[in-house]
Structures are given as structure tokens and as C-alpha cells.
């Protein structure tokens, strides 16, 4: 990192985990420092959480631009490893470990505040097993630069609050996905509003079990909010 970041500008170092540099993320992966705790069969290194903790602290101390792979490495990959189908693990985890696939988080919604259980974005199962997605997410970090989103959605509108929620993987290049950057007070556009208008997801977009989205999302937030790389 000392070699790689020797001439890195101070204003870029200040962004640290919000600094987006795909080439740096790929170089970091070639060094073996992305997907550290993933199993080797998925391109990881079977390292301990403590080893990942050390690497994370050194990256942040150096002001490294890690935002491209950060969320995928921190929480999307562990979530898929824990709850995803074998096909999802094979498809996504090696690409994450290689620093080549980036995820964002689709939880927050307009007018919801901190009441995550009030999610209104809906994924309705179609007769052919696919899902029709409609709704809106907001404050979605790097949605305009990521390949996919793991979204918390309502799949059972008849169930109240927590019971009818599920998680789906959304390819952000699909028709019907609109991403609008939100400029913050510093002039940056890390946040985004993401709108889904009749977006069709394949049947295998569901992560884990339908109706278990609340439990899965709260376990995912443990990866996000704990450790040196939490928000």
C-alpha cells in the first residue's frame, strides 16, 4: 500500500472508504486482500475475521480507495455465503473475491426514516416463478457504480411488517431500473435514489427463504455496523 499510494493526493485519501477506484480494488484482490474470510473454493482465503480486521484497519489508516469492493466484501458476500443458493455462491462470490463485482444495499426508502420494517418496495411472484419488482430505495451508496443490489422487499403484502419481507439480488442494468445520484453538502454524489418500474427478476433472484428477509437483513447489518469498517 505504501508503494501503491505513494503519490495519492491528500484529498483523495480523505475519502478513504468512500474513494471509488476499481483498479485499486482489483490490485488489492490480486494481493489476496479481498474476500479474505471466504472459503478457497469461492476464490477466498479461509482467513480469520481477525486477519480481515487487521487488513481493514491498515487500509483505512492509509486512506486507501476501497469503496468499489467494500460493501460486497464486507456484507454482501457473507450474506450470500450464509443464505444464498449454491448457484448464487458460484456466480457471485468468486467475482467479489476478485474485486470485479460490486454490490450496494437496498434497505432505506423514502418516508421510512429508521423504521426499516415499513418497506413498501414489492416483489410479486409471477405465474412463471419470476418476480416483478416495483418501488424505490434511497441513500443507496454507489448504486450508480455497482453491478448489483441486495434489496429488502415485501413479497407478502398480506403479512404485517416483518413477516412479509424477503431479500432479492437485483442486476442494476435490468430494464426498469432508474438510478439518480444525490449530491451531498460536500458536492459528492455517493448516495443515490433507485427506482424500480416493473423490473422482472428471475426466480433465482431470491436470497434465502421468502419471508425471512427481516432476520437475514438484521444479520447482514451486523457485518456492516461492527468492526473498524462499519458506517
Which residues are designated catalytic?
224
> H or E segment at 81?
helix 77-83
Distance of alpha carbon 226 from alpha carbon 208, whole angstroms: 23
> H or E segment at 87?
helix 86-97
C-alpha cell at 13: 485519501
| SS3 (DSSP) at 41 | helix
| SS3 (DSSP) at 71 | helix
C-beta of residue 16 within 8 angstroms of C-beta of residue 5: no
Amino acid at each position: 500500500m505504501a508503494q501503491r499510494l505513494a503519490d495519492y493526493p491528500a484529498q483523495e485519501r480523505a475519502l478513504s472508504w468512500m474513494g471509488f477506484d476499481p483498479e485499486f480494488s482489483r490490485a488489492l484482490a490480486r494481493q489476496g486482500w479481498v474476500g479474505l474470510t471466504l472459503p478457497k473454493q469461492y476464490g477466498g482465503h479461509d482467513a480469520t475475521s481477525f486477519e480481515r480486521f487487521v487488513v481493514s484497519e491498515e487500509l483505512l489508516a492509509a486512506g486507501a480507495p476501497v469503496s468499489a469492493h467494500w460493501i460486497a466484501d464486507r456484507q454482501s458476500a457473507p450474506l450470500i455465503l450464509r443464505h444464498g443458493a449454491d448457484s448464487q455462491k458460484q456466480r457471485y462470490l468468486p467475482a467479489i473475491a476478485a474485486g470485479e463485482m460490486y454490490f450496494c444495499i437496498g434497505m432505506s426508502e423514502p418516508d421510512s426514516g429508521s423504521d426499516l420494517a415499513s418497506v413498501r418496495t414489492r416483489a410479486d411472484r409471477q405465474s412463471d416463478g419470476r418476480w416483478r419488482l416495483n418501488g424505490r430505495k434511497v441513500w443507496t451508496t454507489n448504486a450508480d457504480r455497482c453491478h448489483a443490489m441486495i434489496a429488502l422487499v415485501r413479497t407478502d403484502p398480506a403479512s404485517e411488517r416483518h413477516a412479509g419481507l424477503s431479500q432479492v439480488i437485483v442486476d442494476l442494468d435490468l430494464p426498469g431500473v432508474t438510478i439518480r445520484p444525490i449530491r451531498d453538502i460536500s458536492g459528492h454524489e455517493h448516495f443515490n435514489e433507485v427506482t424500480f418500474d416493473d423490473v422482472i427478476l428471475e426466480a433465482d433472484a431470491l436470497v434465502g427463504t421468502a419471508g425471512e428477509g427481516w432476520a437475514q437483513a438484521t444479520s447482514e447489518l451486523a457485518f456492516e455496523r461492527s468492526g473498524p469498517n462499519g458506517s
